Structure 1
Amino acid sequence: MADKPVAARHRSLEVGQVVSRAGNKTIVVAVARQGAHPMYERSVHHRKKFHVHDEKNECQVGDWIRFAACRPLSRQKCWRLREIITRAAVPVLLESDTAAS
């Protein structure tokens, strides 16, 4: 019998916005979904938070990221950062602002 090639494991991918830096190498990401209410058929917004492993501590609050499922890394963390889609806008400080304080 010929051996069949092993297919790559399908990992679920999610896209969300960073809402908090929970600690060293950990970020909290909110994923928003919209669905219909089962009885009233009105659109309902759902939001779920995920603890995501950020190995290089490169994410900031407000970034949009893509993350994937992985093996459990801690009690709450079983997601790993894949890529940063959009960086958050960083406010620019002017020289007059720093001199006033």
Structure 2
Amino acid sequence: MTTASKETAVERGRRHQFKGVVQSDKADKTRVVMVEWTYRHPKYDKTLRKRSKFYIHDEKNESHAGDTIEFMATRPLSKLKRWRLVRIVEKARLPKTAAEPVKEAAV
């Protein structure tokens, strides 16, 4: 009986996982992530967009605004934070003007 309880303690159920875009990275170790999805209205049969805002715990401050991340449910960390960062799916793209150095004209 003890071995069965140990196995279930190690084996956890599937937790909720979502992908979203980081909207704000201003707070230390906290990210605000927007998740957007579409669904059909049951009566009017119209496609609608729904958005939800999640507060994510980012222990190493790895993600920044504009990054696409994957996150999962965890124990409550604060009043609003119940999610933690799993991985960064895609980094935000920088504008080309900031990435390229300006060339001076030869006189």
TM-score by length of structure 1 reads: 0.85
Residues 40 and 10 of structure 1: CA distance in aligned 2, closer, same or farther (over 3 Å): same
- Return the structure number with greater helix share: 2
Distance in structure 1 (CA, Å) of the matches to 2:92 and 2:41: 32
- Alignment counterpart, residue 88 of structure 1, candidates 89, 92, 106: 92
Instruction: Name 2:40's counterpart in structure 1.
Output: 36
Question: After the TM superposition, which segments of 4 or more aligned residues of structure 1 sit over 6 Å from their partners?
Answer: none
* Identity within the alignment, %: 40
Deviations 1:26-68 (A, max 9, x none): 0000101100112101100001010000111111111110000
Distance in structure 2 (CA, Å) of the matches to 1:51 and 1:22: 12
Calculate the aligned-residue CA RMSD, in Å: 1.8
Shift of 1:2: 7.7
TM-score by length of structure 2 reads: 0.81
Distance in structure 1 (CA, Å) of the matches to 2:91 and 2:41: 33
Aligned residue pair count: 97
- Alignment counterpart, residue 78 of structure 1, candidates 77, 82, 85: 82
- In structure 1, the gaps of 5 or more residues are 97-101
Give the structure with higher Rg (CA).
2
